[in-house]
Every structure is written in C-alpha cells, then in structure tokens.
Amino acid sequence: MCIFLYNYFLCNLCRKDLEDIVELDRDFENFDVEHNRNQFCWDYQDYIFLLTKRKSLLTLMKNRQKIIGFCLSVIVGFESELYKIIIQKEYRNKGLGKILLLFHLGSLKIMGVGFSFLEVSHINFPAICLYKKIGYKVEYVRKKYYINSDALVMKREL
C-alpha cells in the first residue's frame, strides 16, 4: 500500500476524483440504507454545489492514483461541521480512517478553525468508535432524528 493524503479545493479537483467520491458515497449509502433509511448519498452536482458555494475542506486519501477514502467539512466562522467521512470497504479497520480524520482536523486547525462538530446515527458503531478514539465527545442526542435511530451530535476541540 502506498498512501497519500491531499487537501483539495475545487480548482485542483479533477472530474475523475469527483466521480470516485460519488461512487464511494453511493456504496456507503447503499450499505447504510439497511441500517438507516434517512440518509441519502450526494451526486456529482451536490458536491460541486457545496464546494463552490460553501467554505469547505475536502481531504482525499489515495492509494497511488485511486481514491480509497475522503472526508469533507464545511467551515462557518470558528466552527466546522464534518459532513462526510468514508473509507472504501476493503480498506476499513486498518487505522486509515483515523489517519485521514486526524490529518483533516489538523488542516482545519491550521486554517484557524477551533471546533469540529458532527452528527452520527447512534447505531453506526464503527464511526462512533473512530470519533471517540480521537477525542470527540457527545454534546447531545437528537431523539428519532433518523427513521430508525437517534442522532448523536459530537464535538471536538481542534
């Protein structure tokens, strides 16, 4: 394995990268539908919209030229919200999600951001494990936020 991490802005994001991202998103959401029917994957236009209209940070993890994971935060003033983090299935449980997220949060800090917030279904055990391992704490619970689960709102100081 030969892993690289990059922070991307729309100007250096090629169409192929974005297509890989959308495909990863679709795979995750297909899997997730069984567990959480209230989440939908984003398409190409959704990503373009977000990256052009909102101040955001997109971090890609590549194994050579192939995208194997990414995360995306939107920045509002001193705070950010983690909208997406996905590692391709066959690369999970190897410590890569942790490396990706720590790199991403470190970059946000360099950009002057102070806090990261996120929302996760209370039955998404792998994601909650990852977030807790790197220091996110549950702020509050949104009961029945998703069709079959609650949402945990978590926060971490950068």
Residue 136 interacts with ligand COA (CB under 6 A)?
Answer: no
CA angle 126, 128, 130 (to 5 degrees): 70
User: Which of 1, 153, 21, 8 lies closest to 87, judged by CA?
Assistant: 21
CA angle 47, 124, 103 (to 5 degrees): 55
CA–CA distance from 3 to each of 16, 43, 65 (Å)? 18, 26, 10
Q: Which of 120, 152, 154, 158 binds ligand COA (CB under 6 A)?
A: 120
Q: How far is the CB of 152 from ligand COA (least distance, A)?
A: 9
Q: Which of 87, 113, 154, 158 binds ligand COA (CB under 6 A)?
A: 87
CA–CA distance from 22 to each of 42, 98, 113 (Å)? 7, 21, 26
Residue 149 interacts with ligand COA (CB under 6 A)?
Answer: no
Nearer to ligand COA, 85 or 158 (CB): 85
CA–CA distance from 139 to each of 5, 35, 127, 144 (Å)? 29, 23, 16, 16
Binding mask 36-75 for ligand COA (x = CB under 6 A): ----------------------------------------
What gap in Å lies between CA 92 and CA 130, rounded to an integer? Answer: 11
Residue 109 interacts with ligand COA (CB under 6 A)?
Answer: no
User: Count residues contacting ligand COA (CB under 6 A)?
Assistant: 19
Residue 126 interacts with ligand COA (CB under 6 A)?
Answer: yes
Quick one: which segment of 9-17, 81-89, 107-115, 143-151 binds ligand COA (CB under 6 A)? 81-89
Total residue count of the chain as it appears in this document: 158
Which residues form the interface with ligand COA (CB under 6 A)?
28, 85-87, 92-98, 120, 124-127, 129-130, 133
